[in-house]
Amino acid sequence: MLKIKTPKSGKAKREIEKRAPKLVESGKKTLILQGTKTSNVLNAVLTEIYHLKKDSAVRYTRKNENIRPFESGGETSLEFFSLKTDCSIFVFGSHSKKRPDNLVIGRTYDHHIYDLVEVGVENFKSMESFTYDKKLSPKVGSKPFIAFIGEGFESVDELKHLKEVLLDLLRGEVVENLNLAGLDHAYICTAVSSNRVFFTHCAMRLKKSGTIVPRMELVEVGPSMDLVVRRHRLPNDSVRKEAMKTAKEQPKKKVKNVSQDVIQGKVGKIYVPDQQVGSVALPYKAKGLKRERREAKMKHETNDRAPKKQKENSE
């Protein structure tokens, strides 16, 4: 029998609630780790990917011998780290003679491997090799533009798959509305051939254009590299169907006495009961009111005594 441990502290309960399935999922976290052997180029690539996603990424620097994503049995450690860190995307780097400067980008569903894309890194340029005004450097957590240029992203299966994975890796949290002033960087992916993609990172500079929409200029800030697609593995149809399930949109409950107006916006009705002022108790008795009551009482007594005297005189 497996012993089920229940959280005892409030912090542990909140952490479990964060990891629980939700109707609207929050942004995906990225796990960055490496194999037994890496190169200087690959270490720089992993470090700069971590800096680009610093607000939603976990970086492991120790060597991992048991991780072999495309081999059976080599995914166990990777799935364990995914469950431990609550990350649904991972970037795994390794280097060998057969596959130099190798990157494996993958996604998980229910902390099990969903799909994989293996690319080789060539012509890498780090952020330090670019000279630009440091005021243009992107802010941490800002939303990026992502542009995919080339027909290969629509016709070649490998590049289609790579496009889906890169979108999940780079876009961050999904939002409905954006402030144009908060967009300060863009990722440009260009399909050079059927298996090669040029990737670069640019800062955006807003300038006056004479209209409401400003003119944008792109300044390359790095990193930039060529990604050569080597292997990829698509998810099973059953797993894809299960992962693509969405919750039915629940109809909004009608709020009583609230209506929407085109000009005034939200309009509400407030019902106030009739106020019975005459029966309201006064907070204090005024002196004038006491005197009036006393005079009325005395007048009433005199009226009662007058008829009695008349009766006596008549007798």
pLDDT of residue 289: 58
Q: What is the mean pLDDT of each run of 10 residues along the chain (315 residues)?
A: 70 82 76 94 95 91 91 89 92 95 94 94 94 84 90 94 94 79 89 95 87 86 94 92 78 84 87 79 61 75 62 46
> In which domain, by residue range, is 200 found?
26-231
Q: Say which amino acid occupies 117.
A: V
> What is the CB neighbour count within 10 angstroms for residue 264?
8
Inside any domain, residue 285: no
**How far apart are the C-alpha atoms of 103 and 225, rounded to whole Å?**
12
**Confidence at residue 253, expressed as pLDDT on a 0 to 100 scale:** 82
Q: How many domains does the chain have?
A: 1
Residue 1: per-residue pLDDT: 44
10 part of a folded domain: no
Residue-by-residue DSSP string for 121-164: EEEEE-GGG----GGGSPPTTPPPEEEEESTHHHH-HHHHHHHH
Q: Residue 224 has what pLDDT?
A: 95
Residues pairing with 145 in the sheet = 186
Domain CATH for 150: 3.40.50.10480
Question: Does some domain include residue 274?
Answer: no
The Cα 150–Cα 190 span in angstroms is: 6
In a domain, 99, yes or no: yes
- The helix/strand/coil state of 236 is coil
> What are the φ/ψ torsions at residue 142 (nearest 5 degrees)?
-75, 150
Nearest partner of 223 among 122, 106, 129, judged by Cα: 129
> For residues 47 and 134, what is the distance between their CA atoms, to the nearest angstrom?
20
Q: Is residue 191 part of a domain?
A: yes
CA–CA dist 124, 126 (Å, integer): 7
What pLDDT shows up at residue 18? 80
Sign of CA pseudo-dihedral 14, 169, 41, 101: positive
